[in-house]
């Protein structure tokens, strides 16, 4: 099915199941320990061996030689496979750095060997016996130093944009801001480390892994192994978090496949936690310069955003300027991205790539500008709202209610009680509030599904869609139940298997809307097949209460299925509605913080997000997406930073003790409000993404609240106490 | 030199005798030897809490304990707290409040939640207990502090707190 | 993790003998730090002597009016003990500020004293570290040093001691009782127990190989207002940037032990004497020889602010 006209009324609009707070259909499995993740016993009869990865000890250079003799002699060892053994390989389409193979070391902890043994303990011990000789080379690791040599990136989406005459308008503006902001490298730090089990049968590979994108992994794994894609059966039924860190083929899968081949039996490999940060991808650090010019009445006349980031050769820039092209009005605009070569681990997507770090900067800048204008930052944002793409005014937003989010949020949060900076004290803390807009584009991906109706009236839906905690199992079950007019417990959802139709996968907050739309399309086919089987007129057929009705005839669905059942399969593809209309999601974040007057420790006291993201398919799981994003934003604001050792070229704090993500005690009760809206331009579901929207702007709202509390403006994340302490009042 | 030993322990009420490589952690004994994979390995270094189990009535990180150090112990894992047909109140409350997303930290969160309520009831103080000599109130701050050894990167904390309070107060 | 033999000791003397007899043997109690380090091959014992079966898990009053805490008392139990809560609140507070509930349920009193640094370079066996691999150099000094020591540092090492409990023990003037492989025992005041890094950062305490801690003894309660203030980036489950254990008497005098700033709990009786001239003076003396890096200079300010706040608040 091609979605090329705005949606009109369809069976989803009944909202008998969709739109309701249905508890997760996989909830019982997850809370009783019965959900099976990549590294676990999918086939208890399988005689697994254990693979232990060895990571490079240098950041850049070549592997001269690898001595595996001691490792091979160690107790229980079945095989050792080195990067030299497998040699240079064709790289996966989605990988920037080589995952495994060849003598070139592109980053610290890049996989150089895997040791296979009968037990986990034996494999780990033998791993330490692998002796690697390197020829190290000098590398570039410091973004601040490499910035000067940064270049306009090839291939990325519009590195430079310009409308009107930014420089002149900025020079002429009576009120201006010109400030530089910094966001650090960040780690996905999902709770389940990357893990895979590989089993060969002749030349056919079965692999259980932890992947957000089944088809990308399958293709890139086949490419790396040099085998036909059809020979790879890849499964990822449960994923212990991804946040972008499991979008692209990673070393665990490649190592497991080579190891299983070498050992002649199935092998499981998990990345040891201390390897995850440097072996896999991360969100790249940025330096961002923002310039805003406005009239005294607050209207923005010039807005410019430049961003510098680094990556390995062949990599991409962090798209930190993107939201600035769309979020606020202003006749004269300019954005630019520059990419420096850095020999750190591969930079790549992490939850809301582009907008997450971009909004961290832009929404502080907006707060600073409002202050210069002596305006309420909520009102300043409202004044500069735009209902059209500011670069192409003929192109409207499909639906945009940023103003509604800001107004409702301000009211619910008690925004009007906000005081001047550094004026409110309670129990030894300076108290402040902050606001930021939330903005993230709505992306659409082709997505397929197969729906089967059986003679017992049960419906099974199969798609290679993944559930990374987002609730895909549940919203897909809801979609099928709604489309086919059955109770949700009549629906079985099977996900994450390369034998199923290729879906959108999970990423870019496109998964919820895209995958349910693919399921919608498949259900339309199945409904037609049911109607045809029963000889019903498809125009007036109604699926409801487990029955199919047409005119005065009503038949139980099970009866229509017949002995062999009926199948509907289709893929949703997208026309040009996202070209004619800008599709984005909007929100507002409000935060209250307390900053310890003695130590400068910031603790969050209240958080509210108001989101406008089209139809909310399941308010329970959507709320979870948003509170989770708010929590990640709290980490981004206050503690998360992969610290670069600029001499040795690696992320130093590469475990969960050193890289501090928020804990329970950091997070207060969180409020989330969804605007009641639909977006008929987005899909027949009329839904949009929400999982990344919730992250965009949170950190800036916290930064702005810290400023309101202390009067100290920090433009360099994370906002740790050492950056505040110099500006705090003297201790008596 | 003998690098293997035999240990007897009870897991979820069932006695086991295991001959293990001395290096085997309680976590790996559960997951790789007993195939009880509900207990998760998130970091293997005591930095995340995903491996939390209850040993002789106390929650511990099973990754930082050798299986051999649990001779005679009674271990309760998430599987032992309840199964889909007879779920523990805390498991049901997590489902109702959507106190999880990816589900990987969830067994550890639930084991900790059950133990935390017990710790408060038996008067074990915490970092946020104001009066060390008084009785300990069941407050959100107390529960958040005590749950802080269980990291949830999906960020379900606010919902987890609601689930714990539902169980503590006995009002679904 | 290297392979090791495993034995359960049945008496203190047997445990001490077993470890003393083999250079590469170690005691294991809670295991929460040792196993962490063994997995990374930072610790590589060939023989583990499990001391959990020894009866060193009691807390009892001493004839002097103090408290003898068995080496195997778990952190949770020590923090929750009625006498500790009433008379040594600082100790309870310090314990509860450390680690997580799960870790405190396993970690022991002696093990807590013997925790090793959490310096990330110490933890990464690809990197030079004089503490892990004597003579290999220190990556932290010109590297990531925000967490590191500012006082008592050497050119060989700027690691901190990570224990919260030890800060309280230092402020409370605890003594450590041990038994050696030769059957003799000794009592070590905590002030003599830890070493500064100097040229030998791998030697952290005065304990001999095979010497087992049997108890930590607290002198009679010192009264006063007892405070443990731990500063860290996140609100819980993190090591201290700076922590202060203080006993504040009503006349403004008291004791100050500082964590997160040195290779050992940092206390100076000379600084405490200066409290009579105000907390600012005391803090200045306490941090007089600070040699911070650019990244951890804030710790000096932080200590000064915290000492001022603790003593001003207590007097006001």
| Residue after which a domain boundary falls, among A559, A578, A597 | A578
Indicate the Cα dihedral angle B33, B34, B38, B42, nearest 10°. -20
Confidence of residue A154 (pLDDT cuts 50, 70, 90): confident
Could you tell me if B59 and B53 are in contact, meaning their C-beta atoms sit under 8 angstroms apart? yes
pLDDT of C176 over the 90 cut: yes
Domain total for chain A? Answer: 3
Distances (CA, A) of C217 to C68, C170, C246: 4, 11, 19
Strand ranges (DSSP E) for chain C? 5-8, 25-28, 47-50, 59-61, 67-70, 175-179, 185-189, 212-218, 225-231, 242-248, 254-259, 266-267
Interface of A with C in 221-260 (CB under 8 A): none
Helices (H) and strands (E) in chain B, counts: 6, 5
| Residue after which a domain boundary falls, among A540, A556, A578 | A578
Average pLDDT over residues A283-288: 98
Average pLDDT over residues A67-82: 98
- Strand A553-556 to strand A650-651: parallel, antiparallel, or no bridges (unpaired)? unpaired
- Contact across the interface for A75 and C3, Cβ inside 8 Å: yes
How close are the terminal C-alpha atoms of chain C, in Å? 54
Residues 6+ apart with CB under 8 A from C252: C275, C276, C311, C314, C315
Interface of C with A in 187-246 (CB under 8 A): 229, 231-239, 241
Which of A662, A663, A725 shows the shortest C-beta gap to C298? A725
Residues of C in contact with B129 (CB under 8 A): 96
pLDDT in the model for residue A239: 98
Which of C39, C235, C308 shows the shortest C-beta gap to A731? C308
Whether A28 and A73 map to the same domain: the answer is no
The alpha helices in chain C, defined as continuous H runs, are 12-21, 34-39, 75-80, 82-87, 89-97, 101-106, 109-113, 165-171, 190-193, 269-273, 279-286, 298-315
pLDDT of A155 over the 80 cut: no
On whether residue A100 sits in a domain, the answer given is: yes
Count of Cβ atoms closer than 10 Å to residue B141 Cβ = 16
Q: B163 and chain A: CB distance < 8 Å anywhere?
A: no
Residues 6+ apart with CB under 8 A from C236: A663, A664, A665, A666, B127, B144, B145, B148, B149, C100
Whether A467 and A542 map to the same domain: the answer is yes
Tokens of A54: 């060895």
Confidence of residue B170 (pLDDT cuts 50, 70, 90): confident
Distances (CA, A) of B158 to A233, A431, A433: 38, 22, 20
Q: C141 and chain A: CB distance < 8 Å anywhere?
A: no
Whether A217 and A241 map to the same domain: the answer is yes
Helix (H, G, I), strand (E, B) or coil at A488: helix
Whether A67 and A211 map to the same domain: the answer is yes
The whole-angstrom separation of Cα A97 and Cα B56 is 48
- Contact across the interface for C101 and B112, Cβ inside 8 Å: yes
pLDDT of A125 over the 70 cut: yes
Summarize pLDDT for B97-150 with one digit per residue, the tens.
Answer: 999 999 999 999 999 999 999 999 999 999 999 999 999 999 999 999 999 999
- Contact across the interface for B46 and C36, Cβ inside 8 Å: yes
What are the structural domains of chain B?
A: 4-80 (3.10.20.30), 89-169 (1.10.150.120)
The residue count of chain C comes to 316
- Contact across the interface for B64 and C48, Cβ inside 8 Å: no
Residues 6+ apart with CB under 8 A from B85: none
pLDDT of B52 over the 80 cut: yes
Tokens of C19: 């470890």
Tokens of A700: 């800036």
Interface test with A, best of C45, C235, C306 (most A CBs within 10 A): C235
In C253-273, which positions are buried (b, 16+ CB within 10 angstroms) versus exposed (e)?
A: ebbbbbbbbbbbbbbbeebbe
Tokens of A527: 């409904």
The whole-angstrom separation of Cα C125 and Cα A130 is 13
Which of A274, A598, A663 shows the shortest C-beta gap to C237? A663
Phi, psi of A262, deg, nearest 5? -70, -40
pLDDT of C112 over the 60 cut: yes
Whether A103 and A250 map to the same domain: the answer is yes
Which of C2, C118, C144 shows the shortest C-beta gap to A643? C144
Q: C127 and chain A: CB distance < 8 Å anywhere?
A: yes
Whether A637 and A714 map to the same domain: the answer is yes
| Residue after which a domain boundary falls, among A578, A599, A625 | A578
- Contact across the interface for B79 and A273, Cβ inside 8 Å: no
Phi-psi region of A369 (alpha: psi -120 to 50; beta: other; left: phi over 0): alpha
Summarize pLDDT for A420-462 with one digit per residue, the tens.
Answer: 999 999 999 999 999 999 999 999 999 999 999 999 999 999 9
Chain C nearest-CA distance from A88, in A, is 25
The whole-angstrom separation of Cα C31 and Cα C51 is 11
Tokens of A187: 């780690």
Residues of C in contact with B45 (CB under 8 A): 36, 39
On whether residue A487 sits in a domain, the answer given is: yes
The whole-angstrom separation of Cα A613 and Cα A611 is 6
Which of B38, B98, B149 shows the shortest C-beta gap to A32? B38
On whether residue A566 sits in a domain, the answer given is: yes
Helices (H) and strands (E) in chain C, counts: 12, 12
Interface of B with C in 72-111 (CB under 8 A): none
Tokens of A168: 């002149």
Phi, psi of C299, deg, nearest 5? -65, -30
Average pLDDT over residues C215-226: 97
Eight-state DSSP code of residue A90: P
Dihedral sign for Cα atoms in the order C4, C10, C12, C18: negative
- Strand A104-105 to strand A61-67: parallel, antiparallel, or no bridges (unpaired)? antiparallel
Whether A252 and A209 map to the same domain: the answer is yes
Q: Domain of A657: which CATH number?
A: 3.30.365.10
Q: What mean pLDDT is reported for chain C?
A: 97
How many interface pairs between B and C have CB atoms less than 8 angstroms apart?
A: 106
Which of B25, B45, B60 shows the shortest C-beta gap to C102? B60
Chain B nearest-CA distance from C277, in A, is 30
Whether A682 and A712 map to the same domain: the answer is yes
Chain C nearest-CA distance from A721, in A, is 7
In A196-206, which positions are buried (b, 16+ CB within 10 angstroms) versus exposed (e)?
A: bbbbbeeeebb
Whether A84 and A222 map to the same domain: the answer is yes
Interface test with B, best of A39, A121, A126, A191 (most B CBs within 10 A): A191
The whole-angstrom separation of Cα C245 and Cα C226 is 8
pLDDT of A204 over the 70 cut: yes
Confidence of residue A521 (pLDDT cuts 50, 70, 90): very high
Summarize pLDDT for A335-360 with one digit per residue, the tens.
Answer: 999 999 999 999 999 999 999 999 99
- Contact across the interface for C127 and A722, Cβ inside 8 Å: no
Q: C143 and chain A: CB distance < 8 Å anywhere?
A: yes
Helix (H, G, I), strand (E, B) or coil at A397: strand
pLDDT of A732 over the 80 cut: no
Q: B98 and chain A: CB distance < 8 Å anywhere?
A: yes
Whether A591 and A720 map to the same domain: the answer is yes
Dihedral sign for Cα atoms in the order A202, A204, A206, A212: positive
Confidence of residue A538 (pLDDT cuts 50, 70, 90): confident
Tokens of B154: 């999906």
Q: C4 and chain A: CB distance < 8 Å anywhere?
A: no
pLDDT in the model for residue C316: 52
pLDDT of A74 over the 90 cut: yes
pLDDT in the model for residue A537: 83
Tokens of A436: 């930021």
On whether residue A314 sits in a domain, the answer given is: no
- Contact across the interface for C233 and A718, Cβ inside 8 Å: yes
How close are the terminal C-alpha atoms of chain B, in Å? 56
The whole-angstrom separation of Cα A75 and Cα A68 is 13
DSSP result, A578-602: HHHSB-EEEEEEEEEEEEETTT--E
Q: C64 and chain A: CB distance < 8 Å anywhere?
A: no
Chain B nearest-CA distance from C3, in A, is 6
Residues of A in contact with C278 (CB under 8 A): none
CA-nearest residue to B104 within chain A is A240
Tokens of A593: 């913080």
Summarize pLDDT for C181-211 with one digit per residue, the tens.
Answer: 999 999 999 999 999 999 999 999 999 999 9
Residues of A in contact with B54 (CB under 8 A): none
On whether residue A431 sits in a domain, the answer given is: yes
pLDDT of B172 over the 60 cut: no
| Greatest Cα-to-Cα distance within chain B, rounded to the nearest angstrom | 57
pLDDT of A491 over the 70 cut: yes
On whether residue A350 sits in a domain, the answer given is: no
- Contact across the interface for A241 and B104, Cβ inside 8 Å: yes
On whether residue A341 sits in a domain, the answer given is: no
CA-nearest residue to B83 within chain A is A32
On whether residue A59 sits in a domain, the answer given is: yes
Q: What mean pLDDT is reported for chain A?
A: 97
Residues of C in contact with B61 (CB under 8 A): 32, 100, 102-103, 106
Chain C nearest-CA distance from B85, in A, is 28
Whether A473 and A427 map to the same domain: the answer is no
CA-nearest residue to C45 within chain B is B23
> Domain span at residue A629?
396-442+583-727
User: Nearest 5°: CA angle at C259, between C256 and C260?
Assistant: 145
The whole-angstrom separation of Cα B126 and Cα B119 is 9
Eight-state DSSP code of residue A646: T
Dihedral sign for Cα atoms in the order A227, A229, A235, A241: positive
Average pLDDT over residues C90-117: 98
Half-sphere exposure of C78 (CA within 13 A, CB side): 35
Please name which of A402, A279, A289, A286 lies closest in space to residue A346, comparing C-alpha atoms: A279
Whole-number percent of chain A with pLDDT over 90 = 97
ipTM for the assembly: 0.98
Which of C3, C127, C236 shows the shortest C-beta gap to A125? C3
Which uninterrupted H or E stretch holds A52?
A: strand A49-55
Whether A674 and A527 map to the same domain: the answer is no
The whole-angstrom separation of Cα A659 and Cα C238 is 10
Indicate which residue of A371, A569, A592, A692 is catalytic: A692
The whole-angstrom separation of Cα A423 and Cα C262 is 36
A692 is catalytic: yes
Chain C touching partners, 3 or more CB pairs below 8 A? A, B
Chain A nearest-CA distance from B134, in A, is 22
User: Nearest 5°: CA angle at A448, between A445 and A451?
Assistant: 150
**How distant is the alpha carbon of residue A244 from its chain centre?**
4
- Contact across the interface for C1 and A125, Cβ inside 8 Å: yes
């Amino acid at each position: 099915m091609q979605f090329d006209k705005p949606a009109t009324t369809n069976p989803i609009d009944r909202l008998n199941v969709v739109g309701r707070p249905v508890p997760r259909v996989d909830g019982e499995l997850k809370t009783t320990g019965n959900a099976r993740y990549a590294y676990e016993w999918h086939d208890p009869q399988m005689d697994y061996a254990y693979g232990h990865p060895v990571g490079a000890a240098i950041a850049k250079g070549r592997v001269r030689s690898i001595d595996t003799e001691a490792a091979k002699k160690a107790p229980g060892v079945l095989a050792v496979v080195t990067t030299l053994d497998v040699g240079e390989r064709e790289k996966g389409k989605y990988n920037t750095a080589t995952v495994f193979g060849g003598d070139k070391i592109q980053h610290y902890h890049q996989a150089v060997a895997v040791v296979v043994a009968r037990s986990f303990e034996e494999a780990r011990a033998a791993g330490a016996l692998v002796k690697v000789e390197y020829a190290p080379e000098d590398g570039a690791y410091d973004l601040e130093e490499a910035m000067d040599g940064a270049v306009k990136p090839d291939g990325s989406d519009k590195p430079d944009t310009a409308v009107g005459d930014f420089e002149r308008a900025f020079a002429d503006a009576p009120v201006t801001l010109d400030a530089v902001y910094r966001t650090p490298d960040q780690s996905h730090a999902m709770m389940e480390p990357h893990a895979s089990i590989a089993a060969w049968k002749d030349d056919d590979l079965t692999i259980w892994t932890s992947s957000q994108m089944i088809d990308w992994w399958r293709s890139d794994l086949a490419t790396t192994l040099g085998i036909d894609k059809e020979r790879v059966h890849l499964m990822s039924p449960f994923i212990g978090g991804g946040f972008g860190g499991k979008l692209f083929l990673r070393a665990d899968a490649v190592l497991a496949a080579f190891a299983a081949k070498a050992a002649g039996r199935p092998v499981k490999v998990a990345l040891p936690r201390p390897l995850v940060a440097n072996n896999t991808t991360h969100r790249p650090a940025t330096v961002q310069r923002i310039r805003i010019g406005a009239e005294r009445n607050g209207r923005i006349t010039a807005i410019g955003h430049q961003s510098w980031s680094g990556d390995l050769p062949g990599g991409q820039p962090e798209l930190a300027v993107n939201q600035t092209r769309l979020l606020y009005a202003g006749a004269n605009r300019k954005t630019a991205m520059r990419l420096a070569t850095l020999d750190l681990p591969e930079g790549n997507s992490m939850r809301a790539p582009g907008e997450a770090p971009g909004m961290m900067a832009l929404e502080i800048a907006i707060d600073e500008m409002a202050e210069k204008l002596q305006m309420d930052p909520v009102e300043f944002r409202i004044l500069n709202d735009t209902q059209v793409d500011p670069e192409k005014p003929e192109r409207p937003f499909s639906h945009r209610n940023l103003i509604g989010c800001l107004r409702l949020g301000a009211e619910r949060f008690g925004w009007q009680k906000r005081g001047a900076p550094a004026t409110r004290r309670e129990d030894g803390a300076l108290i402040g509030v902050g606001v930021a807009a939330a903005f993230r584009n709505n992306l659409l991906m082709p997505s397929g599904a197969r729906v089967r109706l059986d003679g017992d009236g049960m419906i099974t839906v199969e798609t290679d869609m993944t559930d990374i905690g987002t609730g895909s199992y549940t919203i897909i079950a809801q979609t099928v139940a709604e489309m086919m007019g059955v109770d949700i417990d009549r629906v079985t959802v099977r996900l994450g298997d390369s034998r199923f139709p290729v879906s959108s996968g999970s990423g870019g907050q496109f998964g919820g809307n895209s995958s349910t739309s693919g399921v919608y399309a498949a259900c339309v086919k199945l409904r037609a097949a049911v109607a045809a089987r029963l000889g019903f007129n498809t125009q007036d057929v109604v699926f409801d209460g487990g029955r199919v009705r047409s005119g005065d005839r009503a038949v139980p669905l099970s009866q229509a299925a017949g002995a062999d059942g009926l199948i509907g399969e289709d893929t949703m593809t997208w026309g040009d509605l996202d070209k004619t209309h800008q599709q984005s999601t909007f929100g507002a974040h409000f935060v209250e913080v307390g900053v310890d007057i003695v130590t400068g420790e910031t603790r969050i006291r209240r958080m509210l997000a108001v989101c406008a993201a089209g139809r909310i398919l399941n308010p329970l799981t959507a709320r979870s997406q948003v509170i989770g994003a708010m929590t990640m934003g709290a980490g981004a604001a206050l503690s998360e930073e992969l610290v670069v050792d600029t001499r040795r070229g690696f992320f130093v704090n590469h475990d969960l003790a050193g890289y501090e993500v928020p804990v329970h005690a950091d997070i207060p009760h969180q409020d989330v409000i969804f605007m009641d809206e639909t977006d008929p331009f987005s899909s027949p579901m009329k839904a949009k993404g929400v999982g990344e929207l919730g992250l965009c702007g949170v950190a800036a709202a916290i930064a702005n609240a810290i400023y309101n509390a202390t009067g100290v403006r920090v433009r360099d994340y994370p906002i740790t106490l050492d950056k505040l302490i110099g500006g705090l009042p003297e201790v008596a | 030199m003998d690098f293997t030993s035999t240990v007897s322990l009870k897991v979820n009420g069932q006695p086991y005798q295991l001959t293990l490589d001395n290096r085997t952690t309680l976590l790996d004994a559960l997951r790789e030897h007993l195939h009880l994979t509900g207990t998760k390995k998130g970091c293997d270094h005591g930095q995340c809490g995903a491996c939390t189990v209850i040993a002789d009535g106390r929650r511990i990180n099973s990754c930082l304990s050798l299986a051999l150090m649990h001779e005679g112990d009674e271990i309760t894992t998430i599987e032992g707290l309840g199964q889909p047909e007879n779920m523990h109140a805390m498991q049901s409350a997590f489902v109702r409040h959507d106190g999880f997303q990816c589900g990987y930290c969830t067994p550890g969160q639930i084991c900790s939640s059950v133990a935390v309520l017990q710790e408060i009831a038996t008067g074990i103080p915490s970092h946020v207990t104001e009066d060390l000599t008084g009785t300990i109130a069941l407050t959100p701050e107390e529960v958040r502090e005590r749950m802080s050894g269980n990291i949830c990167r999906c960020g379900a904390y606010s919902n987890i707190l609601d689930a714990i309070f539902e169980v503590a107060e006995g009002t679904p | 993790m290297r392979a090791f033999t495993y034995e359960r000791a049945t008496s203190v003397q047997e445990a001490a003998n077993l470890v003393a007899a083999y250079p590469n043997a170690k005691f294991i109690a809670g295991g929460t730090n040792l196993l962490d380090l063994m997995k990374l091959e930072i610790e590589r014992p060939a023989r583990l002597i499990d001391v959990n079966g020894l009866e060193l898990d009691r807390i009892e009053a001493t004839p002097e009016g103090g408290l003898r805490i068995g080496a195997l008392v778990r952190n949770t139990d020590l923090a929750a003990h009625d006498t500790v809560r009433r008379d040594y609140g600082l100790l309870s507070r310090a314990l509860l500020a450390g680690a997580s509930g799960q870790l405190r349920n396993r970690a022991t009193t002696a093990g807590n004293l013997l925790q090793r640094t959490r310096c990330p370079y110490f933890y990464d066996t690809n990197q030079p570290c004089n503490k892990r691999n004597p003579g290999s150099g220190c990556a932290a000094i010109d590297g990531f040093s925000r967490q590191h020591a500012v006082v008592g540092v050497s050119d060989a090492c700027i690691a901190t001691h990570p224990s919260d409990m030890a800060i309280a023990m230092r402020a409370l003037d605890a003594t450590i009782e041990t038994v050696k492989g030769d059957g003799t025992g000794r009592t070590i005041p905590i002030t003599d127990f830890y070493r500064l890094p100097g040229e030998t950062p791998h030697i952290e305490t005065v304990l001999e190989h095979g010497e087992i801690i049997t108890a930590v003894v607290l002198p009679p309660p010192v009264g006063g207002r007892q405070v443990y203030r731990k500063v860290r980036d996140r609100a819980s489950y993190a090591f201290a940037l700076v922590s202060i254990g203080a006993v504040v008497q009503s006349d403004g005098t008291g004791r100050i032990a500082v964590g997160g700033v040195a290779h050992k709990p940092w206390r100076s009786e000379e600084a405490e004497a200066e409290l009579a001239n105000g907390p600012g003076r005391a803090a200045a003396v306490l941090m007089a020889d600070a040699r911070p890096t650019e990244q951890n200079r804030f710790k000096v300010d932080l200590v000064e602010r915290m000492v001022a706040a603790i003593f001003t608040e207590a007097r006001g």
